[in-house]
Amino acid sequence: MCGIAGKVSGSGPVHEELLHRMCSVIEHRGPDSRGVYAEGPVGLGIQRLRIIDLQTGDQPVFNEDGSVVVVLNGEIYNYRELRDELTSRGHRFSTGSDTETIVHAYEQYGDACVNHLRGMFAFALWDRASRRLLLARDRIGKKPLFYAQRGDTLWFGSEAKAILQDEDVDRSIDLDAIDAYLHFQYVPHPLSAFAALRKLPPAHMLVWERGRVELKRYWRLSYRRRNDAANEAEAHELIREKLLEATRLRLRSDVPLGAFLSGGVDSSAVVAAMAKQSEGRVKTFSIGFDVDAYDETRHAREVAELFDTDHHELRVEPKAMDVLPRLVWHYGEPFADSSAIPSFYLAELTRAQVTVALNGDGGDESFAGYNRYIGSGLADRLAGLPAPARRSLALAARLIGPDSSESSFRSRLDRLARTSSMTGYERYAMWMAYFTERERERMYTPELRGQLRDRTAPTIVRDPWLASDADDRVNRLLDVDVNTYLPGDLLVKMDIASMAHSLEVRSPLLDHEFMELCAGFPGEWKLSSGTTKKLFKDALRPWLPNHLLDRPKWGFGVPINTWLRGPLRKLPGEILLDPRSIERNFFREEYVRGLIDDHVAGTRDNANRLWALIQLELWLRTFVDRRANGPLTLDLALAA
């Protein structure tokens, strides 16, 4: 696990001094060593976190004759098998690292080398003979990769701030990306909050050659029904078998490792698979809260006792908001998923004892774990009603209106009624909205609306929806989430939170072979009679007790709504109604003030909306108002 950065140009040489600046700003991703390679038009930089081959595995890594050089962020889990295969074909290895398999696989297979890699990765490979740069990102999008292009010059980096170390890169805001952010709570790929930057999408390669850039997609998850299992019982066996294999590959490490354990289905499944294949006690780590509705520590303790793990806990309190400036700095773009707070502290707790942790990311996206999948089914049925009936329902819902809780029956009924006349992808996009398009129009000033050019938010869901080969509703929704919410929100959250503390996080449930197996099962096995994740839960019954598998799902969130009505109730006003915020002329002051007042009064739950606006404003102060190389100094004392 590392951080990479670099530049290639057809107009002049790349200097090492720039590479060192680019590496310095992402040193937290890999503090163990720095490597730079600069030769003529290309420069590659790497900050390494040593996990495998501690003695000879530093990067950049070359092939036998030095004609191919690579820097890697991530891990290639099948490196031993791939190494044996390449050695049998005559390739000679000089290190024991997983990184070296890439240069030899490139020699053997060319760009198709990515098809032989099983892992999480973002790498840059320079072919000296053809003067050609290959960038590639893993299939699911575990590892990030930003890039910028101007003329015949290309910059790249694991984080946006690395690219911005070159003063030739424009730092202007992409307002259309901000519009999409306010819809989704994250900036979706390929957009970036900076107009000059873009994100390489998951499962894509980018080739720079003679100043020209070409993007290629090399993999797509298929949801076509396959015959891997004739019935659910056979599927259960295959799921357990593949999970054990994916976990076993992720136990390869030359440094200590452990696991995140929330007590939910997914993390408990991973801990169970680890315990069945580990020689010693597994170290597990949990975060708790003083608000009971958000605290799962008792369930985590039960799982820890069941598998006799070495268990550790940390409680997060409202004072944890003191970390807000560090969060904004590390995320580098506006990011409004408030569960970044416990993720940040969980990574800090874990890194104190281990360098690698396994987690349960990906289970919801393979097995239909979100309640919104149920809501989407109800919306589909409402959409099938005659138009007069839909209009009557919409009128009744408007008269009743939402209440102070976003998850209440009234609020859900309001959303269902408002989406009943939309297309399937429009409904799902609105279901995912923090600020709907109508709410954004009401919040934006005329000046901001006039600067928006390409309102891309609707296409973020539409494009994967229409491209999906799923033949049932549930699997189509999973396909959309795997291409949007998973890489745009969940994987960004964990990558940044863990890398801020130099911790590598591995996700067995995101193994692409495991996901390919699960994608081939019918949707009705995954979501059945209102039970989310039924197929996975039933597969795990030989490993975990029923009462843990069947309890209601708890998201890994924080009680931000309670905090913003209690100990942190002054925070939104201090930041969002500050003269610096108002003078940007992005949002109508009276609209923002209304959001704050309604939330504090308890008449509407606006916590997520306020959090999104707070994150945006602090990002602007950190990265746009100044050329930041460190977190903003922010006095939150008055907010306590």
Read off the pLDDT of residues 358-380 as tens digits, 9 standing for 90 and up. 999 999 999 999 988 887 777 66
Tell me which DSSP letter residue 486 carries.
I
Residue that wins the pLDDT comparison between 420 and 235: 235
Position 351 pLDDT exceeds 70: yes
Q: Where are the domains of the chain?
A: 2-217, 232-368+481-550, 560-639
Average pLDDT over residues 413-442: 81
In 3D space, the residue among 75, 61, 333 whose CA is nearest the CA of residue 191 turns out to be 333
Alpha-carbon gap, residue 439 to 244, rounded angstroms: 46
Q: Which of 102-111, 268-277, 290-299, 593-602 has the lowest mean pLDDT?
A: 290-299
Tell me which DSSP letter residue 114 carries.
G
Cβ atoms of residues 310 and 286 within 8 Å:
no
Please give the pLDDT value at position 252.
Answer: 92
- Phi, psi of 326, rounded to the nearest 5 degrees: -70, -40
Residue that wins the pLDDT comparison between 201 and 437: 201
Position 381 pLDDT exceeds 70: no
- Determine the 3-state secondary structure of 531 from DSSP: strand
Cβ atoms of residues 622 and 551 within 8 Å:
no
Percent of the chain with pLDDT over 90: 77
For the CA atoms of 62, 492, 451, 593, what is the dihedral angle to 10 degrees?
-150
Which contacts (CB < 8 Å, 24+ apart) does range 629-637 have? 629/25, 629/161, 630/329, 631/325, 631/326, 631/328, 631/329, 632/325, 632/328, 632/329, 633/325, 634/324, 634/325, 636/321, 636/322, 636/324, 636/571, 636/574
Cβ atoms of residues 23 and 47 within 8 Å:
yes
User: Whole-model pTM?
Assistant: 0.93
CA dihedral for 203, 223, 191, 374, sign (positive or negative): negative
Alpha-carbon gap, residue 16 to 37, rounded angstroms: 8
Query: Rounded mean pLDDT of the chain?
Result: 91
Please give the pLDDT value at position 54.
Answer: 83
- Determine the 3-state secondary structure of 357 from DSSP: strand
Please give the pLDDT value at position 65.
Answer: 94
Alpha-carbon gap, residue 623 to 558, rounded angstroms: 26
- Determine the 3-state secondary structure of 262 from DSSP: coil
Please give the pLDDT value at position 639.
Answer: 40
Alpha-carbon gap, residue 455 to 453, rounded angstroms: 6
CB-based burial of residue 421 (10 Å sphere; 0-12 exposed, 13-18 middle, 19+ buried)?
A: middle
Alpha-carbon gap, residue 49 to 331, rounded angstroms: 19
Alpha-carbon gap, residue 51 to 73, rounded angstroms: 11
Please give the pLDDT value at position 332.
Answer: 96
Question: How many C-beta neighbours within 10 Å does residue 601 have?
Answer: 10
For the CA atoms of 115, 219, 483, 119, what is the dihedral angle to 10 degrees?
-10
Position 397 pLDDT exceeds 90: no
Please give the pLDDT value at position 417.
Answer: 62
Position 510 pLDDT exceeds 60: yes
Percent of the chain with pLDDT over 70: 90
Helix (H) or strand (E) holding 303: helix 297-306
Read off the pLDDT of residues 541-559 as tens digits, 9 standing for 90 and up. 999 999 999 988 776 667 8
- Phi, psi of 314, rounded to the nearest 5 degrees: -140, 135
Please give the pLDDT value at position 61.
Answer: 97
Average pLDDT over residues 590-615: 96
Read off the pLDDT of residues 301-344 as tens digits, 9 standing for 90 and up. 999 999 999 999 988 776 766 789 999 999 999 999 999 998 99
Q: Strand ranges (DSSP E) for 210-361? A: 212-217, 257-260, 283-289, 310-316, 356-358
Read off the pLDDT of residues 92-147 as tens digits, 9 standing for 90 and up. 999 999 999 999 999 999 999 999 999 999 999 999 999 999 999 999 999 999 99
Residue 11's pLDDT band, with cuts at 50, 70 and 90, is: confident
Read off the pLDDT of residues 453-487 as tens digits, 9 standing for 90 and up. 877 887 899 999 999 999 999 999 999 999 999 99
Average pLDDT over residues 166-183: 96
CATH number given to 232-368+481-550: 3.40.50.620
Cβ atoms of residues 375 and 431 within 8 Å:
yes
Position 637 pLDDT exceeds 60: no
Alpha-carbon gap, residue 121 to 201, rounded angstroms: 12
Position 640 pLDDT exceeds 50: no
What single-letter amino acid sits at 424? G
CATH number given to 2-217: 3.60.20.10
Angle CA 63–67–72, to nearest 5: 55
